[in-house]
Structure 1
């Protein structure tokens, strides 16, 4: 019986409010880490699309902008499908 009481009493030293607060901090930190899109990404996307449209005629649906994390670094990937022939501007 003493053996079972050891496990039952083990968690009684710490108040439940403190353990709930610690669990909440962990959940919030995980949710922030899982957030894949920072706040500035839509504005950055608009600026990049405007710069591309200024220099070449390309369908904006052919431009892909992705932000991913690799080895604790954020990587901005930009893929642009350029037209086969670009008319010369004179």
Structure 2
């Protein structure tokens, strides 16, 4: 590997990032098809909330997830109110040994 290749490498996403990316892909595919069927948007909204609460020590009232549907596109908006610095630390990931 060249020296320039070392600096161009992108960090590998962790498991939760992959899961979030997959959920958003499902959301986009659903919106593009416009099929009539079960509405998966509330399910995705709930799963995103669960992931946020799993990784941050905050209450549900500190997270606001909105889905706005327009004629041409939909918008997913996530607002997270974080406590003061040092107030909410990320939950430690359990390591398998």
Short-chain TM bin: 0.3 to 0.5
In our comparison, the structure showing a higher alpha carbon Rg is 1
TM-score (ref. length: structure 1): 0.48
Bigger fraction of residues in helix: 1
TM-score (norm 2): 0.45
